[in-house]
Amino acid sequence: MVNILIADDHAIVRSGLRQILATSSDFTVVGEAGCGAEVLSKLRACPAALLVLDMSMPGVSGIDLIRRVHSEHPALPILVLSMHNETQVVSRALRAGAAGYLTKDSDPEVLLSAIRKLAAGGRFIDPKLVDAVVFATHADEAPPHEVLSDREFQVLQMLAAGKSISEIADAFSLSAKTVSTHKMRLMQKLDLENNAALIRYAIKHGLTTS
């Protein structure tokens, strides 16, 4: 029996995942979490053997949360279940410690297969994303945003999605000044002069989340 913790900030998504997992007798859901802090506290309190994790939740989330979980529970397989299908997001999640990555438009059977593979010690990438990840741009042809830190990359994505400095600060539990500093640094690294150039860059490189 594989004990699973489901982490997603939408109750209806968690309920749907419970129903899918209930179709298999070898899985049991031992807990749910709706934000990053809850993920960390639940993992310390319940005997989860696998974490199904959304990338975008209130508070600490995304790459930072994956890294935190992996640091505290290095043997715990993390299956990211996300709406994001950008190669850079997938690669960063895997480098941060995720053992698998699946998009939310995947069939339930693919989700069950991914969980079984991770529970057995393997790794799993959404079949629709495998080619893009495996045959990603070679290092010597890497796009400029590869030099960004994880936080700068997240700020870039959110700015491209139309989020304000204050909205990004709230989402990451940071000060507006810190977010502004991240913005300044990423624009310097990418040689961008204004927000319009930033949005054009994000669209060109497929970094928008819409």
CA dist 43 and 49 (Å) reads: 9
Residues 75 and 148 in one domain: no
> In terms of Cα–Cα distance, which of 20, 31, 204 is closest to 102?
20
For residue 191, the domain's CATH number is 1.10.10.10
CA dist 67 and 203 (Å) reads: 27
Strand partners, 3: 28
> What is the predicted pLDDT for the residue at 140?
47
Residue range 11-68, pLDDT digits in tens: 999 999 999 999 999 999 999 999 989 999 999 998 899 999 998 887 777 888 998 9
How many domains would you assign to the chain? 2
Q: Residue 88: which H helix or E strand, with range? A: helix 87-96
Which class for 135: exposed (0-12), middle (13-18), buried (19 or more C-beta within 10 A)?
Answer: exposed
Residue 184 has pLDDT above 90, yes or no: yes
The range of the structural domain enclosing residue 118 comes to 2-134
> What is the predicted pLDDT for the residue at 164?
93
Asked whether 81 and 14 are in contact (CB, 8 A), the reply is no
CA dist 145 and 190 (Å) reads: 7
Percentage of residues in the chain having pLDDT higher than 70: 93
Query: 105 lies in a domain?
Result: yes
Q: What is the mean pLDDT of residues 104-133?
A: 90
Asked whether 78 and 49 are in contact (CB, 8 A), the reply is no
> What is the predicted pLDDT for the residue at 210?
47
Residues 18 and 94 in one domain: yes
**Taking the model in full, what pTM does it have?**
0.71
Domain termination residue (choose one: 134, 152, 168):
134
Q: Residue 27: which H helix or E strand, with range? A: strand 27-33
The amino acid at residue 193 is E
Q: Which of helix, strand or coil describes residue 81?
A: strand
> What is the predicted pLDDT for the residue at 134?
65
Residues 113 and 162 in one domain: no
Where is average pLDDT lowest: 94-108, 138-152, 194-208? Answer: 138-152
Residue 142 has pLDDT above 80, yes or no: no
Residues 6+ apart with CB under 8 A from 202: 156, 157, 159, 160, 208
Where residue 205 falls among pLDDT bands split at 50, 70, 90?
confident
